[in-house]
Amino acid sequence: MRRTILLATLIVSRASGAQAAAEDPALRHSVEQLRTVVGNWNVTTDFLEDDGSVGRSERGTYSFHWIVEDRVVGGRSEIPAMNQASGILFYVNEARRVIEMVSVAGDGKLWIMTGPLGGEQRGTAEFRTAGGGTARLRFTRFNVQPDAFESRMEYSEDGGKTWKPANHQRFRRATDPRG
């Protein structure tokens, strides 16, 4: 009997979640962001100078898969030339009306990037820099197509009054299932 009640609760919860997404354009857009990113991606990252010129360009891969369908995506990014890998969670928090991405690499530093449901921009809270100041990061996804999109990271050292370029990433869906 308990299993039947639990199963019924899960079915009703899933159906009401799908209904909420259908009725809320911002939630629908954020869920579509998760659906779009699932899969394997070849990524070129241009690390930018303060004037926007490319200081260094590296190739890598991202791979995303469902953890909780239409709510949580897990993934991994790798840039072999930099010996860099990180774990990623990308999720919709309907109750808080945000879409978030968290990332942690081998250095153990956890980055939390939050933006409003329906938006293409996410940012970090202020953090301490190595030089003793504070900074914030801002990420914007753009040029979204079925098998490609771009991402821009900027940083601010004045509480978000001005922003400087940090990197530009070009994502292309991998045709090889291994990335």
CA distance 47 to 57: 6
Please give the average per-residue pLDDT across 164-171, as a whole number: 97
| Two structure tokens written together for 5 | 């009640």
Please give the average per-residue pLDDT across 114-122, as a whole number: 97
- To which residue do tokens 């940083």 refer? 155
pLDDT band at 176 (very low <50, low <70, confident <90, very high): low
CA distance 174 to 135: 34
Phi and psi dihedrals of 129, rounded to 5?
Answer: -90, 165
Please give the average per-residue pLDDT across 39-65, as a whole number: 97
pTM over 0.75: yes
User: What CATH architecture does domain 2-173 belong to?
Assistant: Beta Barrel (2.40)
Note the pLDDT tens digit of each residue in 67-107: 999 999 999 999 999 999 999 999 999 999 999 999 999 99
